[in-house]
Structure 1
Amino acid sequence: MSILKRFTDIMSSNINALLDKAEDPVKMIDQLMRNLNDDLNKVKAETASIMAEETRAKREVDECQSDVNKMLDYAKRAVEAGNDDDARQFLSKKASLTEKLTALNTKYEAAKANSEKMKQMYNKLNMQIEELNERRSTIKAKMATAKMQERINKMGSSINNSASSIDSFSRMEEKANRMLDEANAMAELNSKPTDRIDDLMNKYNTNNSSVEDELAALKSANSSAIEDELAKLKENK
Structure 2
Amino acid sequence: MSILSRVAEILHAKTNAVLNGMENTDETLDLSYEKMITALQDAKRHTADVVAERLSLEQQIAATQKNMDQSDADAHLALSKGREDLARQALTAKAAAATKLQSLQTAHDAIQAQEAKLSDYCATMQQRIDAFRTQKEVMKAQNSAASAQIKVTESLTGIGGQMGDAGAALQRAKDRSDKMQNKAAALDAMMAEGVLNDPLDTRTPVEKEMDALRGGSTVDDELAAMKAAMATKPNE
Normalising by structure 1, we get a TM-score of: 0.64
Render the CA deviation track for 1:89-120: whole Å, top value 9, x for unaligned.
Answer: 32222112111111111111111112222222
CA shift for structure 1 position 61:
1.1
Name the counterpart of 2:210: 194
Consecutive unaligned residues in structure 1, runs of 5 or more: 1-18, 202-237
* More helix as a share of residues: 1
Q: For residues 155 and 215 of structure 2, what CA distance do their matches in structure 1 show?
A: 68
Q: What's the counterpart of residue 184 of structure 1?
A: 188
Counterpart CA distance in 2 for 1:199 and 1:120 is 110
Match of 1:30 in 2: 30
The structure that has the greater radius of gyration is 1
Kindly provide the amino acid, as one letter, of the partner of residue 184 in structure 2.
Answer: L
Deviation at 1:56, TM superposition (A): 0.5
2-side partners of 1:73 and 1:118: how far apart?
Answer: 41
Deviation at 1:24, TM superposition (A): 1.0
Q: 1:187 to 1:94 in 2, by over 3 A?
A: same
CA deviations 1:159-210 (Å, max 9, x no partner) are 4554455355445434433432333233223253116579979xxxxxxxxx
Q: Deviations over 1:64-105 (max 9, x none)?
A: 111112222222333444444433332222112111111111
Aligned residue in 1 for 2:177: 173
Q: 2:35 corresponds to which letter in structure 1? A: N
Q: Does 1:115 align with 2:115?
A: yes
1:92 corresponds to 2:92: yes
Counterpart-to-counterpart distance in 2, 1:170 and 1:198: 39
Aligned to 1:227: none
Indicate how the Cα distance of structure 1 residues 198 and 178 shifts in structure 2: closer, same or farther if over 3 A, else same.
Answer: closer
Residue 231 of structure 1 corresponds to which residue in structure 2? none
> Deviation string for 1:8-48 (max 9, x for gaps)?
xxxxxxxxxxx947521222223333333333333222221
- Counterpart residue type for residue 69 of structure 1: D
Matched-pair identity in %: 20
Distance 2:215 2:54 in 1: 133
Query: What aligned pairs does 1:8-157 form with structure 2 within 5 A after superposition?
Result: 20=20, 23-156=23-156, 157=158
Q: SS of the counterpart of 2:23?
A: coil
Which secondary structure state, in structure 2, belongs to the residue aligned with residue 193 of structure 1?
helix
Change (3 A) 1:57 1:141: same
* TM-score of the superposed pair, with normalisation by structure 2: 0.64
For residues 193 and 21 of structure 1, what CA distance do their matches in structure 2 show?
75
When residues 99 and 175 of structure 1 are mapped into structure 2, their CA distance, relative to the original with a 3 A threshold, is same
Stretches of structure 2 that go unaligned for 5 or more consecutive residues are 1-18, 195-204, 219-236
Q: What letter matches 1:140 in structure 2?
A: K
- The whole-number CA distance in structure 2 between the counterparts of 1:198 and 1:54 is 124
For residue 37 of structure 2, what is the amino acid of its counterpart? N
Equivalent residue pairs, number: 184
Structure-2 change in CA distance of 1:184 and 1:57 (3 Å): same
Q: Structure 2: how far apart are the matches of 1:119 and 1:90?
A: 42
CA distance in 2, matches of 1:177, 1:198: 29
Assess if the C-alpha contact under 8 Å between 1:57 and 1:111 holds in 2. Answer: no
